[in-house]
Amino acid sequence: MRQRLINKIEPQETLLKGARALASNTIVSDAISMQSLLTDSSISKADWTEGLKYHSKTLTNLLLNDQIEGFNHYLSTQFGSKISESESSKAKKRLSDVDYRPILQDLLQTAILIEHSTIPPYLTALYSIKDGTNASASQIIRSVVVEEMLHMIMVCNVMNAVSIQPSVNRPQNYPTYPMKLPLNVDFYVGLETFSTNSIATFIAIESPSSPLVKAPTSDHETVSTPLFTKSATAPENNLWTLENMKGFIMENVHTIGEYYDVLFFYIVVFQVIAYYTEHGTLPQNFEELNTGGIFTGDPAKQIRPEQYYGSGGKLHPVESLAGVIAVFQEIKGQGEGVDDSIFDVDPSQFEEGAELAHYFRFKEVFHEHYYLGGDYRPFTDENGMMPVTTPPVGKELPVDWSAAYPMKANPKLSDYTNNKELYAQGLEFNKTYRRLLDAIQSAVEGNQKELEKSIMYMYALKEQAVGLMNQPLNAQSNAGPTFEYTNL
């Protein structure tokens, strides 16, 4: 199965169509208040959905952009109405019945799956590049893979912070290719050789939530939006269920960045509920929300910067809401850029050697040009903003698309059953990958030293993958790694 629409001519225009949808639909003029969203059991599902669109966007824009003062004002505005004693008693009972653990377990485990799903495709494309060729493209892909591993580990830190055991090595948590990401997307992710097709898929995976970014030399100010309230009269219900929350994601979330926005909003909601059920009042500032509540995890299980051996990005431990903010800022910034920028750090503070976000790194490979040093004035509006679809027009980035092994797309071990030696090689590769995931799993369970083994397994994976890719499978294609679950 091949993803549609992938070709050499600006594939991201079509792929980003969905990314614009949530941004354009998020701010609605009649969104219910956050207090009603949480405590009013009579609101309709339609109003709940519209309120969730509005408040998830508003809240994440404030907290993930370090606007703590603005967030405090938002809380006081949203939670300023006094709840009557009788209504408070009913709301407290209803919200105390909400069990956040299975919901966050499902949603955070899905985040791990999303991160995990990108690693084998990126590694496959990287390993398929023949030695001595495409040095710049290889470096770009390698840097992204390292950061995706970092993202997966940091999501595990978030899970451990809320006392939920993460899983990276169980068979049900293995991606199966080709696959769609668990979002509202219309393309497939698979294991393919390095090509314009595979890089275009990677561009689609890393698509930014916003259709506009700053041109590399411009500035932009964040514009705040007004808050609105709406009354509702519907039968009493509880809409904070896993079914409804996942349903909202599948209908309204089109990019990984948007998934993290909504996931972050859900985490804050459960922290608000925990505060309310404990204190009987709604929180009025960030300080009241930052610690306690759902953050009951053992700090000894956190992977900390000194225990992580990757070279890309910064690892953040999580013991409070502030830690979740740091994790999600890192993941979103590396994937789609921060503060409407093409960079994965604040461009006003970046040091020499700062990298672009993943989306823009892959676009450099696809278009065979770098961003920096280019003239973007023809693409830039009066506010210094340019479409994310703008191609890089800086100095050339040489790419030899023919210097890659002609690997069969999405191979399976079953493809090798007629070749005993090839089957054994494919099986050994899968065992090595399983050992890599087992090392990560042991580390996130509290045995952090096990993470050291991951470096050894990564080197072994490349050697084994190249060994597979060197062998013809048929007249048209060679074998390749399958990344399937296997027992050791």
Does domain 1-22+98-231+239-404 fall into CATH 1.20.1260.10? yes
Query: Of 120-134, 211-225, 369-383, which range is least confident?
Result: 211-225
Report the candidate in 169, 172, 174, 170 with the shortest Cα–Cα distance to residue 439: 169
At 9 the pLDDT is: 35
Tell me the two tokens of residue 160: 């451990």
Type of residue found at 175: P
Mean pLDDT value across residues 304-332: 88
Question: Which DSSP string do the residues of 2-40 spell out, in sequence order?
Answer: --TT-SSS-THHHHTHHHHHHHHHH--TTPPPHHHHHH-
pLDDT of 14 > 80? The answer is no
Q: Are 425 and 464 in contact (CB under 8 A)?
A: yes
Mean pLDDT value across residues 316-344: 87
At 352 the pLDDT is: 42
How far are the Cα atoms of 141, 177, 219, 405, 433 from residue 422, in angstroms, in the given order?
27, 20, 55, 16, 17
At 283 the pLDDT is: 94
Predicted confidence band of residue 214 (pLDDT cuts 50, 70, 90): confident
Q: Are 392 and 360 in contact (CB under 8 A)?
A: yes
Q: Is the peptide bond before 391 cis (omega within 30 degrees of 0)?
A: no
Type of residue found at 448: Q
* Cα gap 74→71, rounded to integer Å: 5
Report the candidate in 123, 158, 157 with the shortest Cα–Cα distance to residue 463: 123
Determine what percent of the chain is predicted with pLDDT higher than 70: 84
- Rg (C-alpha) for the chain, rounded Å, is 23
pLDDT of 237 > 80? The answer is no
At 311 the pLDDT is: 58
Domain spans, the chain: 1-22+98-231+239-404, 408-488
- Over residues 149-206, the pLDDT tens digits come to 999 999 999 999 999 999 999 999 899 999 999 999 999 999 999 999 999 999 999 9
Q: How far is CA 45 from the centre of its chain?
A: 27
Average pLDDT of the chain, as a whole number: 86
Q: How far is CA 269 from the centre of its chain?
A: 19
pLDDT of 377 > 90? The answer is yes
